[in-house]
């Protein structure tokens, strides 16, 4: 915000300096009016290439910056991410979730919550150990927003991981819902949960790679005949 609100060129820079090295604009149409108005038009046109390059550089820096930081821009994401279907979300691999469950990140994380967005019959047929079943938006609001789970240690984090069967529809949708509702409760960019992830491949991929981290040790598809 500060970058975009700042003047592009300091007002103290003399006009003669600004014109040095700038390409001349031939055939420029002059505006009727005072000399000051005519000078202003010439100034804006002659600096246009510089202005475009500067704005493009700023936009690129901000875009890259946002991709690396949590939702409140306070710190970099802790967990290693992988490419996913929705570029606006942060995806993590089944291996990262397994490492999380075995305490590999315990010195940095105070609480990690795996949100299983599948239907209850899918969850009961097999789920990641410790995962909570929140298939509806109101379930997510009640569990995570009515009494937010905040870290007692300011140096540690609370992270939320969403998934469904494949993490293509229900899990990502619920992740976006929580972020939207969380945003609406705060003055931007503050958040209760700045660090949200989606488990790539969903429960199906996690179960086939790490069945020992599932209970019961089984996988019930959404389209199960029963």
Structure tokens that stand for 197 in this block: 């992830």
Q: Which of 105, 102, 202 is nearest to 159 (CA)?
A: 105
Given the residues 117, 164, 175, 214, select the one marked as catalytic: 164
**Three-class secondary structure of residue 84 per DSSP:** coil
Supply 27's token pair: 């055939």
170 vs 208: CA distance, rounded Å: 20
CB 170 within 8 A of CB 117: yes
Mention every residue, 6+ apart, whose C-beta is less than 8 A from residue 155.
Answer: none
Tokens 């020992």 map to which residue?
A: 212
How many Cα atoms sit within 13 Å of 108 on the Cβ side? Answer: 10
Q: How far apart are CA 30 and CA 45, in angstroms?
A: 12
164 is known as an active-site residue: yes
Catalytic residue positions? 164
């Amino acid at each position: 915000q500060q970058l975009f609100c700042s003047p592009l060129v300091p007002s103290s820079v003399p006009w003669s300096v600004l014109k040095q090295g700038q390409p001349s604009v031939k055939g420029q149409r002059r505006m009727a009016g005072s000399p000051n108005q005519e000078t202003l038009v010439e100034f804006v046109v002659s600096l246009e290439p510089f202005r475009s390059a500067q704005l493009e550089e700023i936009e690129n820096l901000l875009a890259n910056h946002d991709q690396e930081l949590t939702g409140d821009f306070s710190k970099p994401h802790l967990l290693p991410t992988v490419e996913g279907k929705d570029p606006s979300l942060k995806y993590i691999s089944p291996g990262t979730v397994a490492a999380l469950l075995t305490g590999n990140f315990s010195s940095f994380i105070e609480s990690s919550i795996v949100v299983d967005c599948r239907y209850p019959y899918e969850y009961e047929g097999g789920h990641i150990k410790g995962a909570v079943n929140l298939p509806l938006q109101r379930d997510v609001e009640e569990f995570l927003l009515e009494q937010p789970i905040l870290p007692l240690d300011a140096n540690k984090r609370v992270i939320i991981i969403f998934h469904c069967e494949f993490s293509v529809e229900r899990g990502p949708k619920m992740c976006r819902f929580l972020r939207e509702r969380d945003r609406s409760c705060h003055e931007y960019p503050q958040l209760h949960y700045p660090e949200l992830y989606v488990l790539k491949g969903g429960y199906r991929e996690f179960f086939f790679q790490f069945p020992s981290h599932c209970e019961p040790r089984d996988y019930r598809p959404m389209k199960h005949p029963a």
